[in-house]
Amino acid sequence: MPKVSVVMPSYNHAPYVREAVESVLKQSYSDLELIITDDGSIDGTADIVRSFTDPRIRFHAFEQNQGACIAMNDAINRSSGEYVAVLNSDDYFLPGKIERQVAFLDAHREIGAVFGLPEFVDEHGATVTNRTHPFAGTFTTINRSRREWLRHFFAHGNCLCHSTVMIRRTCYEKIGLFDPLLMQLPDFDIWIRLCMHFEIYILSEELTAFRILGRGRNVSAPSEAAVAREAWELHTILQHYSKLDKETVRNIFHDLPTIIEMESPALALALEAIRIGRPGYRQYGLELIRECLIEKPNTLPYKQYFRLVGESDPYATRFAGKLSEYTVKSTIFKILQHLARKIRAQYNGL
């Protein structure tokens, strides 16, 4: 049984998957297996993977696309190593990546998962030096205790690079695998669940080449659809904080002015979520207040609760009219485009 399992979900990455696979097979640390699950690719990705004959590769292909998390979970379930490293099929490991992380986890039994930094590369493998790119400055090298991480995640969101992680199998056994109902933030969901039980650590060196695809083709690229899904998924992920006991909430959010004197730490947590105010947070905060009031009606005067709902406007009803108007205009614009194409085709046929 190999000590390290590298798990790779692949999907329509024919131009890049060979480099990804080779970056694993060429690692200085060789006691590993590479478990690949192809998620129904239609561009030849699966054929490229099948062309490798290295016995350390174990490959399975879905007949139809099922989703990245399902493919990831399939790969993890088929793996057997004590440590599990994740690699996206359009990224690649830098030399020495696995050796460094294995040495760290062997020497630090108290750490559940170790991360590194990404080196940003473009579609051709050239280093991206554009500091104004949306991904620039996203990831951090600052290390924290697990409770400090939980506080940071709540206030600021994700800052860990998924394709740099190496995690103990026992962590997955404790917290479970990836949520298939998440598309934008499944790794962030894992980090929160992970830090509820285990310490993590970031090595301050670049370990994985993170490929930035053109025309916003990265799943994490900030398209309108991705931003909408992220808000919806945040609303779900924040529910993990509601499962914490009162003392843990007080320890994590000790910096909130009201957390110590409040009989209900959940109420302080809810008010902080509303104060942060990002999409997903207001809905979570108001729902948490409602739960507090159901459990203990005198937690907060109903009058204040109603005022919070009205002022927070969790479903952006103030903009509903403008949104409807925008939708109508967008529909009309698409119809006009269709008519223009028909007229142009008729003209070209004369």
Q: Identify the H or E element spanning 118.
A: strand 111-121
How many CB atoms are located within 10 Å of the residue 234 CB? 20
Locate tokens 């190496």: which residue? 166
Which residues have C-beta within 8 Å of that of residue 200, sequence separation ≥ 6?
111, 112, 113, 114, 115, 146, 149, 160, 191, 194
Phi, psi of 210 (to 5 degrees): -100, 115
pLDDT of residue 288: 94
Q: Which fold has domain 4-217?
A: Spore Coat Polysaccharide Biosynthesis Protein SpsA; Chain A (3.90.550)
pLDDT digits (tens, 9 = 90+) for 173-195: 999 999 999 999 999 999 999 99
Judged against a pLDDT cut of 90, whether residue 283 lies above it is answered with yes
Type of residue at 111: I
Burial of residue 346 (number of CB atoms within 10 Å: 0-12, 13-18, 19+): exposed
How many CB atoms are located within 10 Å of the residue 306 CB? 10
Core vs surface per residue 273-283: b (16+ CB within 10 A) or e: bbeeeeebbbb
Q: Residue 127 carries which DSSP code?
A: B
> Considering only CA atoms, which of 246, 243, 220 is closest in space to residue 233?
220
pLDDT of residue 227: 85
pLDDT digits (tens, 9 = 90+) for 2-15: 999 999 999 999 99
pLDDT digits (tens, 9 = 90+) for 221-265: 557 888 889 999 999 999 999 999 989 999 999 888 777 667 788
Query: Would you say the pTM of this structure is higher than 0.75?
Result: yes
Burial of residue 288 (number of CB atoms within 10 Å: 0-12, 13-18, 19+): buried
Q: Give the residues across from 200 on adjacent strands.
A: 113
Question: What 3-state class would DSSP assign to 6?
Answer: strand
